[in-house]
Amino acid sequence: MVTSTFSAFIKACPMRLIFCFLCFASAAFVCILAFYPLFLGSASMAGLASAIFPELPCLHRSSCAWSYSIVQDRGAELFHSWSDQELLERAIFAEATRTAMLKYDERKIRAAASAPVSHELSACQPRKGKMRTSKIAFLFLTRGPLPFLPLWNLFFRGHEHQYNIYVHLDPFRVGVFDRKSAGVFWGRLIPPGLTERGAPSLAAASRRLLANALLDDPDNQFFAVLSDRCIPLVSFRNVYDHVMASKKSFIEILKDEPTLAGRYASRGSEAAMLPEVPFSSFRVGSQFFVLNHKHAAMVVSDNKIWSKLSLPCANANACYAEEHYFPTLIDMEDGKCATGFTLTNVDWSVRSADGAHPRMYRQEEVTGELIMTLRRNGTFLFARKFGDDCLKPLLQLAPFIYGD
């Protein structure tokens, strides 16, 4: 009786069964898309985004929320429980998604104008697509409290929609900030990792900062790495205008440095770097730089060069991955879109007793004349290293330093 009734229902409602099947198939497809990235490597995720989005129109960004929400949740806490590998993969997938969506938008615009689609953009060409406001991501590497918080708070005041801040702090010092003194730095700590000079951990910390900044806000277009001993030499407006006027990355790239051979062999032998990094391609430079968006994404997605520059060091006195990895990678992959110099002034002519650190400025040295000298007619926008006792005279000079 039940079987005959069911058979009659099927014969009477063939369209209903077809509809149910389509609903089930659609739900299964959405589930696969939602969870597939969690089980893929970075290259596969990038391929997935590139394959899907050029052919999948979205009338509005929110209609693609199943994939785009990973980069749109600006209210999310910066702290997370992802491993470094998962963080990098998420950042790679987010960048691939954005790139695919921007290419799709560009195709629509050019098709409407009957214009040919452009080839892949170079890293020093501006990104296409609609953005609200281009921002600079300020990435601070510090082992403890930032001694110049009041100065930086003055620097950022009034420009809230043009920057983001990210702080990588020693994991054992996470509680050093309080809401009252932190100002605009409050809530901007990222999940940290241990850092040690003469080990790849400092370079890994910079990659961690870049990945978090790329994920956090798609409007971050330049990424400035700074230390707790850095100060701004000019106003925020001058920094912003100077950086945004250039499409290139401001990173020091040196190929004739006297200690280059020793640095290259510091991981045991020259053979340790081959074949990915031949000596002719090895570069050194300051770990404090300003990268454009595509170079930041390049750093996060790189495995080939990182596999060599992150090797354990046999000679820690010559092995500084943070000074080797970034200039080598950028110069090998897209050197034409880098200036070759840094925007952070540092004086290596006067070193610490162990020779490992540059000059540390003290309170009695901080004058208006020093600031003008460090600027070098606009060549430098930041400077280091400044001692804790420099805060008071720097605050007194703030109207002079940051007056537009």
Distance CA 198, CA 55 (A): 47
| Residue where a domain stops, chosen among 70, 95, 111 | 111
29 vs 316, higher pLDDT:
316
**Looking at 311, 342, 373, which one is the last position of a domain?**
342
Reported as a pLDDT band with limits 50, 70 and 90, residue 9 is: very low
| 355: confidence class by pLDDT, cuts 50, 70, 90 | low
Regarding whether 104 and 145 lie in a shared domain, the answer is no
Q: What are phi and psi of 293, to 5 degrees?
A: -60, -45
Q: Do 142 and 255 lie in a common domain?
A: yes
| 272 in the same domain as 196 | yes
pLDDT surpasses 70 at 62: no
Residue 250 sits in the same domain as residue 314? yes
What digits encode the pLDDT tens for the residues 315-345? 988 999 999 999 999 999 999 999 999 999 9
Mean pLDDT score, 157-168: 96
* CATH number of the CATH domain containing 188: 3.90.550
Whole-number pLDDT of residue 61: 29
Question: Using 50, 70 and 90 to split pLDDT, how confident is the model at 283?
Answer: very high
Domain housing 90: 33-59+79-111
Tell whether 335 is covered by a domain. yes
How much is the pTM?
Answer: 0.79
Q: Which of 29-43, 253-267, 346-360 has the lowest mean pLDDT?
A: 29-43
Number of domains in the chain: 2
**Cβ-Cβ contacts under 8 Å for 346 (sequence gap 6 or more):** 286, 288, 358, 359, 383, 384, 385
Do residues 176 and 268 share a domain? yes
Same domain, 55 and 144: no
Whether residues 284 and 167 share a domain: the answer is: yes
Task: Decide the pairing of beta strands 220-227 and 290-292.
Answer: antiparallel
Final residue before a domain boundary, out of 95, 111, 127: 111
Domain contains 148 = yes
Beta bridge partners of 227: 141
Task: Say yes or no: 142 and 83 in one domain.
Answer: no
> Is the peptide bond between 385 and the residue preceding it cis, with omega within 30 degrees of 0?
yes
> 207 falls in which pLDDT band (50, 70, 90)?
very high
Question: What is the H or E stretch that residue 23 is in?
Answer: helix 14-35
Query: Could you give the CA distance from residue 135 to residue 161 in angstroms, rounded to a whole number?
Result: 7
* Cβ count within 10 A of residue 364: 9
Average pLDDT score over the chain:
82
Q: Locate all alpha helices (DSSP H) within 172-320, ordered by sequence.
A: 179-182, 201-216, 236-244, 260-264, 293-301, 306-309
- Give percent above pLDDT 70 in the chain: 73
- Is 101 a residue whose pLDDT tops 90? no
- CA dist., res. 380 & res. 378, Å (int): 5
Does the pLDDT value for residue 60 go beyond 90? Answer: no
Nearest-5° Cα angle at 312, 354 to 223: 75
